[in-house]
Copies of this chain bind each other. A is one copy, B any other.
């Protein structure tokens, strides 16, 4: 799929209210299989005219904190093209509209790592960058593991590591893990553990 600058077919001139904003006109500024940028002509909260570029994600983002029986976390390492940097993260992937977040998370985990999990629990549901995107991330805790063969797709060149939970928490806290979904999942789970230790 190539980017679209063929605006005429995409125009939407119907005024739409969004809280204190009014959208006067929407056209597609860019589109590929993963994202669409809507270029909106708006009236701002103060009544002045303006524009808003909204990055709409085709998929939701699922991430899985995978814990084995020895309290080790499954990390996936890959070069992130958008950052031109190597990144260690929990297994993550895009979930299209026809799939639930849980189904997508199971599938991504199986494809990327070959791991299947019997027990799934939703950890968090957040909007990653709400100033200009509508991207929703759903994070899971997965335990009760069985191990099979990975089948990564052609865009994925992945390394796998199992590291003690405390080490992974250290990596999020010291910044050596910088992926927001990973930091969120690891620290929410760490907080749950610390809170339950305090309650005892």
Contacts and interface: CB of A to CB of B under 8 A. Distances in A.
Interface of A: 1-3, 5, 18-21, 29-30, 32, 34-35, 37, 39, 42, 44-46, 48, 50-55, 61, 79-84, 86-87, 92, 94, 124-135, 137, 154-157, 173, 175, 178-180, 183-184, 187-188, 190-191, 194-195, 197-198
Nearest to A193: B194
A32 B19 CA distance: 22
A78 to B, nearest CB: 8
A45 B155 contact: yes
A39 B34 CA distance: 12
Contact of A179 (B61, B130, B187): B130
A176 B44 CA distance: 26
9 contacts: A2-B51, A18-B79, A32-B53, A44-B155, A45-B154, A45-B156, A55-B55, A61-B129, A92-B131
Contact of A187 (B30, B61, B175, B184): B184
> Oligomeric state, in number of copies?
2
A30 B19 contact: no
B80 A39 contact: no
The list of the 3 closest CB pairs from A to B, nearest first, reads: A19-B79, A46-B154, A194-B194
Nearest to A45: B157
B126 A3 contact: no
A84 B79 CA distance: 33
Nearest to A54: B82
